[in-house]
Amino acid sequence: MPPQRATLLQVAQRAGVSRSTASFVLAGRHQDMRISEEARQRVLRAAQELDYRPNLMARSLRTKVTKTIALVSDTIASDPYAGRAIHGSLAAAIAHGHLLFIGETDGDPVVEERLIADFLDRQVDAFIYASMFTQYVRLPKQLRDRPVVLLNCLIRAARPIHHSIIPDELTAARTLLEAGHRKGIYVVGHSGKGVFASRERLAGIKEELGTAGVRLAGVVDCNWWPDSAYDAVCRALADGLAPRALICVNDRVALGVYQALREAGLAIPGDVSVISFDDSELAAWLRPQLTSISLPHYELGWRAVETLLGPSCEPGITRLPMPIRSRHSVAKPAVE
Amino acid sequence: MPPQRATLLQVAQRAGVSRSTASFVLAGRHQDMRISEEARQRVLRAAQELDYRPNLMARSLRTKVTKTIALVSDTIASDPYAGRAIHGSLAAAIAHGHLLFIGETDGDPVVEERLIADFLDRQVDAFIYASMFTQYVRLPKQLRDRPVVLLNCLIRAARPIHHSIIPDELTAARTLLEAGHRKGIYVVGHSGKGVFASRERLAGIKEELGTAGVRLAGVVDCNWWPDSAYDAVCRALADGLAPRALICVNDRVALGVYQALREAGLAIPGDVSVISFDDSELAAWLRPQLTSISLPHYELGWRAVETLLGPSCEPGITRLPMPIRSRHSVAKPAVE
DNA sequence: CTGAAAGCGCTTACAG
DNA sequence: CTGAAAGCGCTTACAG
């Protein structure tokens, strides 16, 4: 059996004081309570000798704060890289003296409701509401009026009432602009309504290009897999598309794009620059190695709990830079 | 502000009974307490109307069981695939009406001790002690005499005192045996003492081959990266090595092996079969596609909390089958 | 069949 | 400067 933990009462008795006094010195409130230095020392020593550690459940019951937060996500723990968001959240929580509960809903609203109820029953102080893909979400009713920070997702609202931490989708466009691209820039990927991440991504790209006075030349529509991208790009090229730069929504799409360009006799990056998202293993295996932009999962997680637990958690949106791994698929465009 | 939760007292008052009575019916102990059916109905209705949910912290303080468990790992949340172990643990915990705390130590004993202390202060009921790589570990003293299940790790001991859930490392050898291989089977990877996973893996392979009366032909020593594997295999081939089957400790090593074999004019799987571990994305990109064995992370996690929370958690070792993804790198050996 | 009471381990006005 | 007391929201012998 585990060793019995000493209680505050035991500490007090050993120190020859009351529980109140012991509690105050242990809480560091000996100043305002004006505990005699001598009593203080006795308590400290007793606590040390008994290896006293406060029962946090008891404390929480009294104070109404548990110093625990819950991260509820659709399916973050299962994604290869998104798990880092958990890691980041964990680290920040610990740094703030909090512990973190994790929960996965697999996108099922019923599961979600039950999960949140469970957390609430345990009196968690606050929530991180996280999404695997960057997207708009509806906040569960149970979370209204509670401290919540959104991780990798947003809530549609006239005036933001919560804080969101999302990736800054401007990186890709900026990279191409910096390389000197001004025209013939296309996005390869699905632009449909369903996939919110791609919409955000597309919006970010357009916006960044726009501020530089550049127009996105178009979108090659396909889903997020190599075959689909390959087919779509082949077809587009056959139809006369003459891209100078292709922004792929992920590395798998880039794989299909590579194939299509190669078959069309187009050199990467000589004729066409290619840039992508995810920075998966694949990016390094491709030839030429693919310049790819990853989601800053760890930072998103860290920052989310940081702002949740930080001094002032104001509504708004924090966009975190997306780390770019520059390899060999982007070059200055050839002069016309 | 969040809506005020109703308390047991309020339910009791609304039902016109004492807290005791309310508590008993809500706990379903109306039988042994012989509460009148009428009183029972009143309580149930009151609870419903007030949307009563018990404060689990208060209950725990009284009963000494919190229905929370903690998973402490070295660095599971950060690994691309190991995160699934968390997912599996989560699911099993929920299924048992428990909630899961997660903690990462990054392998630092000081961090570990503090983390466990934090969990203990929160009165968690039990622990999962998890490791990123399959390996032998020392159990932190704080965890002695407490309910613990080891996830993907083992404790060296004369008589096992805890339960370990680990992958069954026999799969690779078995696959080759089933394909008809009997000789010229080599392992490519580091056999040094440091990397426990490879030791377990090597032991598993030898054992499985041994029971079939087959001897491992040797080990090509290298570290777990493509370049090192490439160099090592090139050198070995130059020295006259004539393998019929190569077991790579992971997919990256397999990549190096592919290159080395190709340069030596050896066909896969015609001349040499190759099998590997991890089943990463890479396995599908290689040509021929690589047959690879993955760690059953989700199942390891699930099973660990399942046995922790299950009826009888006896000391011992559970070995979970490693799923094999058969592709095109293993074939029957050519007849001599 | 039901209620009054103690107690889990804390914190915090309050009184002296 | 310090202690007695109440109370956080529950559960559970105990008495009737």
Q: Which domains does chain A have, with CATH numbers?
A: 8-54 (1.10.260), 68-167+297-322 (3.40.50.2300), 171-295 (3.40.50.2300)
Cα–Cα distances (Å) from B174 to B42, B52, B180, B185, B209, in that order, read 64, 56, 10, 12, 7
A185, HSE (Cβ side, Cα atoms, 13 Å): 27
Distance CA A67, CA A309 (A): 10
B:187-216 residues touching chain A, CB 8 A cutoff: none
Beta strands at B99-104 and B68-73: parallel, antiparallel or unpaired: parallel
A125, two tokens: 């102080």
Cβ atoms within 10 A of the Cβ of B235, count?
13
Closest chain A residue to B65 measured between Cα atoms? A57
A143 — phi, psi (to 5°)?
-95, -10
**Residue-wise pLDDT tens for chain A (336 aa)?**
677 889 999 999 999 999 999 999 999 888 777 788 888 999 999 999 999 999 999 999 999 999 999 999 998 877 778 889 999 999 999 999 999 999 999 999 999 999 999 999 999 999 999 998 888 899 999 999 899 999 999 998 888 899 999 999 888 889 899 999 999 999 998 766 555 666 778 888 898 999 999 999 999 999 888 999 999 999 999 999 999 999 998 899 999 999 999 999 999 999 999 999 989 888 988 999 999 999 999 999 999 999 999 987 789 999 999 999 999 999 999 875
Measured between beta carbons, which residues in chain B are less than 8 angstroms from residue A87?
A: 77-78, 104
Partner-chain contact A145 B3, CB within 8 Å:
yes
The DSSP bridge partners found for residue B274 are B246
Where does chain A have alpha helices with state H?
8-15, 19-26, 30-33, 37-50, 56-63, 83-95, 109-121, 171-179, 196-211, 226-238, 251-263, 281-285, 297-309
Distance CA A260, CA A268 (A): 11
Closest chain A residue to B69 measured between Cα atoms? A101
Closest chain A residue to B119 measured between Cα atoms? A99
Partner-chain contact A56 B281, CB within 8 Å:
no
Q: CA B299 from chain center: how many Å?
A: 6
Provide the pLDDT for residue B311. 86
**Residue-wise pLDDT tens for chain B (336 aa)?**
677 889 999 999 999 999 999 999 999 888 777 888 888 999 999 999 999 999 999 999 999 999 999 999 998 877 778 889 999 999 999 999 999 999 999 999 999 999 999 999 999 999 999 998 888 899 999 999 899 999 999 998 888 899 999 999 888 889 899 999 999 999 998 766 555 666 778 888 898 999 999 999 999 999 888 899 999 999 999 999 999 999 998 899 999 999 999 999 999 999 999 999 989 888 988 999 999 999 999 999 999 999 999 987 789 999 999 999 999 999 998 875
**Beta carbon of A27 within 7 Å of strand C?**
yes
**Beta carbon of A26 within 7 Å of strand C?**
yes
Provide the pLDDT for residue A311. 86
Measured between beta carbons, which residues in chain B are less than 8 angstroms from residue A101?
A: 99-101
A:70-99 residues touching chain B, CB 8 A cutoff: 77-84, 86-87, 90-91, 94, 99
A:34-63 residues touching chain B, CB 8 A cutoff: 53-58, 60-61
Distance CA B90, CA B107 (A): 22
A78, two tokens: 């299962």
Give first-to-last CA distance, chain A, whole Å.
Answer: 79
Q: Which residues touch strand D (CB under 7 A)?
A: A 16-21, 33-36, 38-39, 58, 61-62; B 5, 7-9, 19-20, 23-24, 26-27, 52-55, 58-59, 61-63
Cβ atoms within 10 A of the Cβ of A322, count?
20
Q: Do residues A135 and A115 make contact, with C-beta atoms less than 8 angstroms apart?
A: no
Cβ atoms within 10 A of the Cβ of B176, count?
26
Partner-chain contact B86 A102, CB within 8 Å:
yes
Q: Do residues A66 and A123 make contact, with C-beta atoms less than 8 angstroms apart?
A: yes
Distance CA B78, CA B84 (A): 11
State the DSSP H helix or E strand holding residue B91, giving kind and residue range, or none if neither.
helix B83-95
Closest chain A residue to B3 measured between Cα atoms? A145
A104 — phi, psi (to 5°)?
-120, 135
Measured between beta carbons, which residues in chain B are less than 8 angstroms from residue A69?
A: none
Distance CA A283, CA A291 (A): 7
Q: Which of A57, A68, A285 is the mutation pick for testing B, counting most B CBs within 10 A?
A: A57
Task: Give the long-range contacts of residues A47-51, CB within 8 A, separation 24 or more.
Answer: A47/A11, A47/A15, A47/A22, A49/A14, A50/A6, A50/A10, A50/A11, A50/A14, A51/A6
Measured between beta carbons, which residues in chain B are less than 8 angstroms from residue A1?
A: 145
Helix axes A297-309, A83-95, angle to 10 degrees: 30
Beta strands at B273-277 and B324-325: parallel, antiparallel or unpaired: unpaired
Question: Within an 8 Å CB–CB cutoff, is residue B6 touching chain A?
Answer: no
Q: Do residues A185 and A216 make contact, with C-beta atoms less than 8 angstroms apart?
A: yes
Q: Do residues B222 and B229 make contact, with C-beta atoms less than 8 angstroms apart?
A: yes
Residues in Cβ contact with A69 at an 8 Å cutoff, skipping those fewer than 6 apart: A93, A98, A99, A100, A101, A124, A125, A126, A127, A128, A305, A308, A309
Measured between beta carbons, which residues in chain A are less than 8 angstroms from residue B119?
A: 99
pLDDT digits (tens, 9 = 90+) for B156-192: 888 889 999 999 988 888 989 999 999 999 999 876 6
Q: Do residues B153 and B300 make contact, with C-beta atoms less than 8 angstroms apart?
A: no
A311 — phi, psi (to 5°)?
-60, -55
Distance CA A275, CA A290 (A): 7
Partner-chain contact B123 A55, CB within 8 Å:
yes
Provide the pLDDT for residue B194. 52
Partner-chain contact B2 A78, CB within 8 Å:
no
**Bond before B269 cis per omega within 30 degrees:** yes
Partner-chain contact A104 B115, CB within 8 Å:
no
Measured between beta carbons, which residues in chain A are less than 8 angstroms from residue B81?
A: 80
Say whether A67 sits in a helix, a strand or coil.
coil
Partner-chain contact B285 A280, CB within 8 Å:
no
CA dihedral of A252, A258, A259, A260, whole degrees rounded to 10: 110
- Tell which residue, B217, B264, B219, has the closest CA to residue B244: B217
Beta strands at B148-154 and B163-168: parallel, antiparallel or unpaired: parallel
**Beta carbon of A280 within 7 Å of strand C?**
no
Q: Which of B3, B99, B146 sits opposite A122 (nearest CB)?
A: B99
Q: What residue type is assigned to position B269 of the chain?
A: P
Q: How far is the CA of B22 from the C1' of D4 (A)?
A: 32
Cα–Cα distances (Å) from B177 to A281, B67, B172, B209, B244, in that order, read 31, 46, 9, 8, 12
- Kindly report the bases of strand D lying within 7 A of a protein C-beta atom: 1-14
The CA distance from B299 to the nearest CA of chain A, in Å, is 13
B201, two tokens: 């893996």
**Beta carbon of A78 within 7 Å of strand C?**
no
Partner-chain contact B282 A281, CB within 8 Å:
yes
Angle at alpha carbon of residue A130, lines to A127 and A131, rounded to 5°: 160
Provide the pLDDT for residue B11. 94
Q: How far is the CA of A144 from the C1' of C6 (A)?
A: 38
Angle at alpha carbon of residue A78, lines to A73 and A81, rounded to 5°: 95
A135 — phi, psi (to 5°)?
-165, 165
The DSSP secondary-structure symbol of A4 reads P
The DSSP bridge partners found for residue B168 are B321
Q: Do residues B237 and B260 make contact, with C-beta atoms less than 8 angstroms apart?
A: yes
Partner-chain contact A86 B102, CB within 8 Å:
yes
A:138-177 residues touching chain B, CB 8 A cutoff: 145-146
Q: Do residues A320 and A165 make contact, with C-beta atoms less than 8 angstroms apart?
A: yes
Protein residue minimizing CA–C1' distance to D13: B20
A·B CB contacts under 8 A: 119
Closest chain B residue to A2 measured between Cα atoms? B145
Partner-chain contact A86 B86, CB within 8 Å:
yes
Partner-chain contact A2 B78, CB within 8 Å:
no
- Tell which residue, B233, B261, B318, B250, has the closest CA to residue B80: B250
Measured between beta carbons, which residues in chain A are less than 8 angstroms from residue B78?
A: 83-84, 87, 298
Q: Which of A60, A145, A298 sits opposite B1 (nearest CB)?
A: A145
Task: Give the long-range contacts of residues A22-26, CB within 8 A, separation 24 or more.
Answer: A22/A46, A22/A47, A26/A52, A26/A54
Q: Please tell me the pTM assigned to this model.
A: 0.90
